Amino acid sequence: MLIYLLRRFNLLVSTLLLLTLIAYGLEFRLLQQGEGDFWHGYWLFLQDLLAGDFGVSSATGLPVLGALGQYFPATLELCLAAFVISLVVGVPVGTLAAVRQGRWQDTLILTGTLVGYSVPVFWLGLLLVMLFSLHLGWLPVSGQLSLLYDITPVTGIMTIDTLLTDHPHKWESFVDALRHLVLPALVLAIVPTTEVIRQIRSALLDVLKQNYIRAALTKGFSDTHVVLRHGLRNAFPMAIPTLGLQFGTVLTSAMMTEIVFDWPGLGRWLVTSISLQDYAAIKGGTLAIATFTIVASVGMDILSTLIYPIRRKAIYASQG
Amino acid sequence: MRFWLCWLTALLLAGCDGSDRQLAKESLLYCAEGAPLTFNPQLAASTQTLDATAHQLYDRLLDINPVTLQPEPALALSWHRSDDGLRYRFTLRPGVQFHHTAGFTPSRPFNADDVVFSFQRLIDGNHPYHAVSGGHYPFFDSIGLSGLIREVRALGPREVEFVLSRPDASFITNLATDYAVILSAEYGAQLLAAGTPALLDQQPVGTGPFLLAQYRIDDFIRYHRHPGYWRGEVALAQLVFDITPKSSKRLAKLLTGECDVMAHPGASQMAVIKSHPELVLDQATGMNVSVLALNTQKPPFDDVRVRKALALALSRDDILQAVYFGIGSAAESVLPPVSWGYHPNLLMPLPDAARARWLLAQAELADGFDMTLLLPAGARSFNPDSLKTGQLIQRRLGELGIRVRLQSLEEQILRRELMAGEQDAVLTGWSADNPDPDNILHNLLSCQAIATGTNASRWCHPLFERQLAAALTAPNLSERIGYYHRAQEIMQLDMPLIPLNHTLKQQAHRRTVHGLQLRPYGGVALRQAWKE
């Protein structure tokens, strides 16, 4: 296990180093026009990054690190909500598709996933805003929380901050934060949900072919019992690593979702910084997002191996 | 499970309850089109900055009465002009309190020191605050305030005297503009002692109806009621500027009630706003102009024939219909017809492509040329859609073989470009800050305004300058009008910029909001607003 962890850690560090090298290389070419010693400059750049110095935003005159700290939690909140939705919806639907393999339910679900996967995020977002906000008036158009509520950010995750506050309108603001979260989280959840459905379906189909499932069925257990108790329990760990990779996709879609819904997260901040030609912010934001994606994906990998140690053996076996 | 689902759905769909309604009643959500560049209007000439700061945070010595358009007392109770027109003495209002904020607790009410501090900063290059936050005061620099005011001094705690270097008829109205705000000298001294003078413009302290509670950059500004406001308590406990650059999103928020007031609705949205039972559209005569400014210091625009050819190529009526949906009028001069300095007999030439081609051929540019047209991103009070205007100009000039590249820039970057002065042409304009014609002419066309970037044509004409200067010292109004007429004639002969359109000032709000004032000039004032 230790060797496995070391390998993963090694991968993490080398990818991050490569990333900083690319970031610095671009800066060196574009901003400094290739003057000075590259490697010495890179070393100083790394030192700054390790010390948490991402530079100062030219638009606001404030440290980029502070802005990252301010906007990142909102993006995280959105992504986590979307992830939860994708699991809550995806696992049962994927299971249903596997159990009803080849029948009309399966076909319908597979068609649905294909459509969901192909729908452009911003278009879907606008459609939902038209329907639920403008036409029906059920949910707010944009933002993270109604600006009526003067909530001091603690974690930056509004659904938590509204509960931590001693504001007289604590509960109303919590409900309001949830209402604001619904549409963007639903839109963002579309792509990962289709992925969860497909992964669970294929993993479950593999498991259902196994002998122990047949044995369980011959023992007289009901279909539902066998699928839930034996099938899903064994299929789930197989699906986790691929689901972990989804976090990167979710983060990318989050950028677009944040713009459609004016969600005050990293994505919207990054796009504004680009329009303001704020290089320090662009560099800091890109590095932060890339770092987070890499860390999340390696983290999920390690997590799935901890839950499902056979995977580790599979890796070693394949490496001979 | 079903119970929980029902409960959660009900919770999510539930609107406001009783206590929430009280909170909503005391709060006004104003959807603004852009973020302020600073919290001190002395430092900026952008509408967004004026809207967000000038009347919410600060007061001036004088205000302009919205009906009579005459100056009236504000922080100054009365004023007296000496017979030679060189000395102005102001008696100040007693007992006016500055904001108490997290960083500052005032020890005394407003007095003459604050007036001296606020104006010394602008005119005295050696003042410790003069260079803080960039040292540019676009409006005051362009009207040459530092050359005009020779001295400003306190004659007592409640008396201030301004000594001018020459008589200036627009001096009093300029003191009533949104830019002439009064800052706290005591706060300035405290920040200077702490070594953080720049906070004066970022964490403002004024005497206005609201104080700054929170600013999340490019996102929102939260103001709280100033408890000791001298004009009496404000109805709103909280005022929030929700920064929403897209006008479609502002309208969507207005429709769902996430905004109470919407700044600068697009012309295409008028029908929706008018047909909606819960919305009200306010319109007021706008003292504004949108112009195509050509850089007269750069070839080929240094040639008057080229500038005239461009003016002949454009159709101001097309722009009026396509961009303004007919709301407004085609400009015949930079001054709008409502201005008392407007020249009624001066007309812009009608579109004439053949003559434009001939002029270009005269300038040896028969094959056309390449140019870049800079556009401000987002809506402006004088132009709801710069990109569309730019595209119309691009098409028209294309017919003459002039290849126009459009470049849309954010306010901050555009300002930087204009100060550098390397641009070919820019789509810009001006919203008047007071009823005086000098305000528009000086800011758009004077030599002084080149350095501040508001004269984007970089045109400096001695004869024109002489008219402006003479108008300011003219003994009576009819003579002043004569000078302004001549100034407009000179401008049109040389055509450094092409006046395009004037438009109405517009704002939409929900029917529950009352007490809004849409002034023909300057930023919005929300202190009298209240909600049902």
> Over the stretch B386-404, which tens digit does the pLDDT of each residue have?
999 999 999 999 999 999 9
Is the pLDDT confidence value at B8 over 60?
Answer: no
- What's the whole-number average pLDDT of chain B? 90
Tokens 């056309």 map to which residue? B368
pLDDT exceeds 90 at position A295: no
- What confidence category does residue A320 fall into, taking pLDDT thresholds of 50, 70 and 90? very low
What confidence tens digit (pLDDT) does each residue in A157-202 have? 988 999 988 888 888 899 999 999 999 999 999 988 998 899 889 8
CA-to-CA distance for A316 and B487, rounded, in angstroms? 86
User: What residue of B is the nearest CA neighbor of A142?
Assistant: B253
- Residues of chain B positioned with their CB less than 8 A from the CB of A147: 29, 220, 222, 240, 242
State residue B111's pLDDT score: 94
- Partners of B477 in beta bridges: none
Give chain B positions within 8 Å (CB) of A133: 252, 256
**Could you count the other beta carbons within 10 Å of the beta carbon of residue A292?**
18
Query: Which of B26, B39, B256, B409 would you mutate first to test chain A, the one with the most A CBs within 10 A?
Result: B256
Does the CB of A157 have a partner CB in chain B at under 8 Å? no
> Quick check: A134 contacting B, CB < 8 Å?
yes
Asked if A150 is an interface residue toward chain B (Cβ–Cβ < 8 A), one would say: yes
Q: Do B238 and A134 touch (CB under 8 A)?
A: no
CB B59 within 8 A of CB B99: no
CB of B23 less than 8 A from some CB of A: yes
Quote the CA–CA distance of A122 and A256 in Å, as a whole number.
6
> Is the Cα torsion angle B280, B285, B291, B296 positive or negative in sign?
negative
Task: Report which listed range, A144-148, A242-246, A290-294, A299-303, is most confident.
Answer: A144-148
**Model confidence at A257: pLDDT above 70:** yes
Structure-token pair, residue B248: 């479609």
User: What pLDDT does A315 receive?
Assistant: 55
Contact B217 A140 (CB under 8 A): no
Asked if A172 reaches chain B (Cβ–Cβ under 8 Å), the answer is yes
Among A2-6, B10-14, B37-41, the range scoring the smallest mean pLDDT is B10-14
Peptide bond into B300 cis (omega under 30): yes
Q: In chain B, what residues touch A150 (CB-CB under 8 Å)?
A: 213-214, 222, 238
State the pLDDT confidence band at B1, using cuts at 50, 70 and 90.
Answer: low
Which three-class secondary structure string do you get for B422-485?
CCCEEEEEEECCCCCHHHHHHHHHCCHHHHCCCCCCCCCCHHHHHHHHHHHHCCCHHHHHHHHH
Residues of chain B with pLDDT > 70: what percent? 96
**β pairing state of B329-330 and B27-32:** unpaired
Residues 257-286 of B with CB under 8 A from A: 258
Average pLDDT over residues B161-173: 91
CB pairs below 8 Å between A and B: how many? 73
Give the residue among A169, A160, A278 at the shortest CA–CA distance from B217: A278
Residue A260 with chain B: CB contacts under 8 Å: none
pLDDT at B415: 86
* Distance of alpha carbon A90 from alpha carbon A9, whole angstroms: 31
Does the distance separating the beta carbons of B216 and A138 come in below 8 Å? no
In angstroms, the CA B228 to CA B225 distance is: 9
Closest residue in B to A133 (Cα–Cα): B256
**Measured between beta carbons, which residues in chain A are less than 8 angstroms from residue B253?**
141-142
Residue B2 has pLDDT above 60, yes or no: no
pLDDT of residue A57: 83
Q: Which among B12, B219, B256 is the nearest to A137, CB-wise?
A: B256
Q: Element (H or E) spanning B250, and its range?
A: helix B247-256
As a whole number of angstroms, the longest Cα–Cα distance in chain A is: 77
**Cα B380 versus chain centre, distance:** 9
**pLDDT at res. B433:** 83
Of B24, B219, B222, the CB nearest to A150: B222
- pLDDT tens digits, B365-386: 999 999 999 999 877 888 888 9
| B525: nearest Cα among B69, B181, B51 | B51
* Interchain contact, A141 vs B29, CB within 8 Å: no
A134 → chain B, closest CA residue: B256
Nearest to A141 among B17, B214, B249 (CB): B249
Q: Which residues pair with B223 in a beta bridge?
A: B212, B239
What pLDDT, on a 0 to 100 scale, did the predictor assign at position B250?
93
B525 pairs with which residues across the strands? B517
The shortest C-alpha distance from B35 to chain A (Å) reads 12
Q: What is the pLDDT of residue B53?
A: 94
Please give the Cα distance from B512 to B515 (Å, whole number). Answer: 10
Q: Is A159 in contact with A203 (CB distance < 8 Å)?
A: no
A147 vs B29: CB contact, 8 Å cut-off?
Answer: yes
Structure tokens at A14: 């080398």
Report whether pLDDT(A319) > 60.
no
- As a whole-number percent, the residues of chain A with pLDDT over 70 amount to 94
- The tens digit of pLDDT for each residue in A48-101 reads 888 878 888 877 778 888 888 889 999 999 999 998 999 899 989 999 998 888
Give the mean pLDDT of B302-316: 94
- Top pLDDT among B268 and B408 is at B408
Taken in order B337, B338, B341, B345, the sign of the CA dihedral is positive
**B103-137, pLDDT tens digit by residue?**
999 999 999 999 999 999 999 999 999 999 888 89
Q: Which pLDDT value is given to residue A310?
A: 67
* Residue A53: closest CA among A42, A40, A66: A66
- List of chain A residues whose C-beta atoms are within 8 Å of the C-beta of residue B20: 148, 169, 172
Give the contacts of B204 (CB within 8 A, at least 6 positions apart). Answer: B39, B40, B53, B57, B58, B99, B183, B212
User: Rounded to an integer, what distance in angstroms lies between the CA atom of residue B181 and that of residue B125?
Assistant: 19
Chain A contact present for B163, CB below 8 A: no
Q: What is the pLDDT of residue A61?
A: 77
The shortest C-alpha distance from B427 to chain A (Å) reads 19
Mutate to test the interface with A, among B33, B244, B258 (most CBs of A within 10 A): B258
Tokens matching residue B532: 């049902």
Using CB atoms within 10 Å of the CB of residue A143, give its burial: 0 to 12 exposed, 13 to 18 middle, 19+ buried.
buried
Look at residue B526 and tell me whether its pLDDT is greater than 90.
Answer: yes
Task: Tell me, yes or no, if B22 comes closer than 8 A to chain A by beta carbon.
Answer: no
- Strands B159-164 vs B71-73: parallel, antiparallel or unpaired: unpaired
Rounded to 10 deg, the angle between the A170-208 and A121-128 helix axes is: 130
Q: Which tens digits make up the pLDDT trace of A7-45?
A: 888 888 888 888 888 888 877 777 666 667 788 888 888
- When pLDDT is cut at 50, 70 and 90, the band that residue B203 belongs to is very high
A167 at interface of B, judged by CB pairs closer than 8 A: no
Q: Mean pLDDT score of chain A, rounded to an integer?
A: 84
Query: How far, rounded to the nearest angstrom, does the alpha carbon of residue B74 sit from its chain's CA centroid?
Result: 20
Q: Give the gap in angstroms from C-alpha A161 to the nearest C-alpha of chain B.
A: 16
Nearest to B502 by CA among B332, B295, B299, B372: B332
Chain A contact for B11, CB < 8 A?
yes
Q: Is A60 on the interface with B (CB under 8 A)?
A: yes
